[in-house]
Amino acid sequence: MTLLAVVAVLGVPTIRLWAVSQFPPLALLEGIRLPGPLPTLGLPLADDPSWAHWAMRSLGALAIPLVFGLWMSRSPRGPGRVALGAWTTTVVAVVFGSVVHAVLASMLLAGGFLSFLLTLGGTLLVGTVIGMVVGVVVAVACAIVSRRSPHGVGSQ
């Protein structure tokens, strides 16, 4: 739920602009259009030049909570193990969602094989870093929920 909220909230242009102004590394990612930033859910054609761009960004964003939910359904017990599992799963989910977005974008833009490889490499690198940062927030949320719930995170 936390990841779905993150990709949905960051899809709102006003909130994303505020986040970019508060955290300079995000401004760098936005400014140079580095491949691999967190795909977000947003309104069609709000920030995208076409429906196809919006669809590929949305598919990448929806892949993140889907992968997270599938992996965390077999979550371990105990707050520490849940937090580590949630952090690791978040990194994998963000990288997967970013790669889905990057591959679809490469197919749409048809920039050639070298362009595809560079985009994929940049996406893996940047997606991993962003996943690690977002994973801390998700891991803390999962640890808090698992402490308060007798059944753990995955069984809710």
DSSP assignment of 68-106, as one string?
HHHHHTTPPSSHHHHHHHHHHHHHHHHHHHHHHHHHHHH
Closest alpha carbon to 85 in 64, 98, 99, 68: 68
Between helix 113-148 and helix 79-109 the angle, nearest 10°, is 150
Element (H, E) at 18: helix 13-22
pLDDT at residue 96, as a whole number: 92
How far apart are the two ends of the chain, measured CA to CA in Å? Answer: 11
Cβ within 8 Å of residue 15, ≥6 positions away:
9
Distance CA 82, CA 102 (A): 30
- pTM more than 0.85: no
Cβ within 8 Å of residue 21, ≥6 positions away:
27
Tens-digit pLDDT string for the chain (156 aa): 667 777 777 777 777 778 777 877 767 766 666 665 778 777 776 666 777 877 888 888 888 888 888 887 776 666 678 888 889 999 999 999 989 888 888 887 777 888 888 888 888 988 898 899 889 988 888 888 877 765 555 444
Helix (H, G, I), strand (E, B) or coil at 22: helix
Name the amino acid, one letter, at 31.
G
Counting beta carbons within 10 angstroms of the beta carbon of residue 56, is it exposed (0 to 12), middle (13 to 18) or buried (19 or more)? buried
